Amino acid sequence: MADTSYIRWFRELSLSDLPLVGGKNASLGEMFQRLIPLGVRIPDGFAVTAVAYREALDAADAWPELHRLLDHVDKTDVRALARAAARAREIVYAAPMPPAVEQQLRQAWRQLLAQVGPELSVAVRSSATAEDLPTASFAGQHDTYLNVQGEEMLIDAVKRCQASLFTDRAISYRIDQGFDHFKVSLSVAVMQMVRSDLASSGVMFTIDTESGHPDFVFITGAWGLGENVVQGAVDPDEFYVHKPTFRQGFRQVLRRTLGDKQVHMVYAPGARASR
């Protein structure tokens, strides 16, 4: 019997669900299962499955036109690629969300709203089924929307994330990596926002980014939303942590560097951030 659930909460997910919810959502599920029992606080949320994306395009009979646009696209012709990508995004965005998907999405939002309270805002993040693989990360290829509030804004952000499977850079990257455009699907993560605009945020790598040495954790951080750190637009604070000495209870921060942190990104009142 076909699975008719289009929503999966992070607590229900693991890496075995990558074909259903993509790499980002599957990794969030692993974090929920492994880190919450250790006392690590992780924002709650859920995934809109890749099945929802495919069923929307099935119902809209969108596949023939997408094949016409992309089967023979030449990535070296930048203008032609941009035209094909823009039209492909229009097709996906215009495909109506199936009623069952919309109903379950609204129900999940209301459940999260009841849990968090009326101040709830969420990050809506793309999670492609070919994302975060050992040989292909797709980092930054698809869209993310921050500070999303209310059901209507949520539905629109989910559709925009689905359409971002066909950004110019994502199409070009799939061609370079040998991925079939139509064997990759788009799941969407919906997770409670952390108000890092009021404090600080950053990125943690569980291995040394330069040498690949597994005994080091590299942490970067800056004031405000993390986009400046991710995009390299700010000189962040940096910390190198040594795992073996941490486990033994000794001093573990081997090096710390104070960054200039020249820019502080915050929300504009009433605005929705996107990238």
Domain boundaries of the chain, sorted by first residue: 7-192, 196-257
Half-sphere exposure of 168 toward its Cβ, with a 13 Å CA cutoff?
10
Query: Do 7-192 and 196-257 share a fold?
Result: no
User: Nearest CA to 48 among 175, 187, 241, 170?
Assistant: 187
Matching residue, tokens 């076909």? 2
Weakly modelled stretches of the chain, pLDDT under 70? 1-4, 131-140, 269-275
pLDDT score recorded for residue 140: 64
Question: Which overall architecture, per CATH, does domain 196-257 show?
Answer: 2-Layer Sandwich (3.30)
pLDDT score recorded for residue 230: 81
Q: Please, where are the H alpha helices in 98-141?
A: 99-116
Instruction: Give the CA angle between residues 136, 185, 59 to the nearest 5°.
Output: 165
pLDDT score recorded for residue 2: 47
pLDDT score recorded for residue 122: 96
Q: How many CB atoms are located within 10 Å of the residue 53 CB? A: 28
pLDDT score recorded for residue 38: 93
- Please provide the distance, in angstroms rounded to a whole number, between the alpha carbons at the two ends of the chain: 38
Q: CATH: 3.30.1490.20, 3.10.20.30, 3.40.50.620, 2.20.25.90. Which one for 7-192? A: 3.30.1490.20
d(CA 193, CA 7): 19
pLDDT score recorded for residue 132: 52
172-177 own/partner pairs: CB under 8 Å, 24+ apart: 172/75, 172/81, 173/136, 173/138, 173/141, 174/130, 175/73, 175/75, 176/75, 177/135, 177/136
Please provide the size of the chain in residues: 275
pLDDT score recorded for residue 244: 95
pLDDT score recorded for residue 263: 87
d(CA 125, CA 24): 9
Q: Confirm if 154 and 125 have CB atoms less than 8 A apart.
A: no
pLDDT score recorded for residue 267: 80
